Amino acid sequence: MITLRPTTAADLDFVLAAEQTDENAQYVRQWSRDRHWQACEQADERHWIIWDEATQRRVGYVIVLGVQDPDQSVLIKRIVITEKGKGYGRATLEQVLSKAFLEFAAHRVWLDVMAHNERARHLYRSLGLVEEGLLREAVKTSAGFASMWLMSMLRSEFMARSASLESVPSP
């Protein structure tokens, strides 16, 4: 359904427009064009365009940091889907988790999410990420201070989940 391909300079207008639109800006922090480009070039970071193979269109982007982290703790820094509610977020995160644990040898994958971001929190929980704790009123937004949930998945949890999904018989 979707593939993750490296973001190029020609994609940055799309990325910035997606990040800055109100429906996303209320949930994700804002980066400069330079910071996005840095993530495209740095060995420790990955910046991918989410590409819908069926329609041959960009449907979002995702950023991962710490792929060379000495503690093998990989951060899903940001995900933005421009066509919400169609399963793109779930499909993207399934691929990101596989890459993190199988390609980057992560021991732990983590992220933070604003407490009022119910859609994202539902999605992360349903993928098996565990809530670790609440960072109370940790970020300043235009609507006031927002609390952030820290969430993570350990390698053992990813392997157990993969094994249980494989053992489900096909219909």
Map residues 65-84 to x or -, x wherever contact with ligand COA holds by CB under 6 A: --------------xxx--x
Q: Does 119 contact ligand COA by CB under 6 A?
A: yes
Name residues whose C-beta falls within 8 Å of residue 65's C-beta, 6 or more positions apart in sequence. Answer: 39, 44, 45, 46, 74, 75, 77
CA angle 152, 125, 158 (to 5 degrees): 55
Per CB under 6 A, does 7 bind ligand COA?
no
Residue 50 or 106: which CB sits closer to ligand COA?
Answer: 50
CB of residue 42 to ligand COA, shortest distance in Å: 21
Beta-carbon contacts of 106 under 8 Å, excluding residues fewer than 6 positions away, are 72, 73, 74, 100, 155
Which residues contact ligand COA (rule: CB under 6 A)?
24, 27-28, 79-81, 84-90, 113, 117-120, 122-123, 126
